[in-house]
Amino acid sequence: TLLDHLAATGGALPPTLRTLLLGAAPVHAEFLRRLQGALPPGATAWAVYGATELLPAAAVTLVDKLAWADAGGEGDLLGAPM
């Protein structure tokens, strides 16, 4: 993955990155923690969900997904409908 490559090479995401959209489900907390550590200051990551026929249908920030996981939330938090 890109995160593995950055870790292996000492690379970093561009400091100008402000928004990162993840289009996959589920997005596990372990991956989100790694991603959070790689994001430049001020950047926000969103997990965007939807069906092929309707994209996006719901969205949630990385911070909210991690809070859900850390609070023991069951399943995968998909976020609010758009």
For position 82, what pLDDT does the model report?
72
Show the CA angle centred on residue 46, arms to residues 2 and 24, nearest 5°: 60
Q: Which residues contact 74 (CB under 8 A, 6 or more apart)?
A: none
pTM recorded for the entire structure: 0.68
Encoded tokens for 9 = 């090479």
pLDDT tens readout for residues 41-82: 999 998 887 666 567 688 888 899 899 999 998 888 888 877
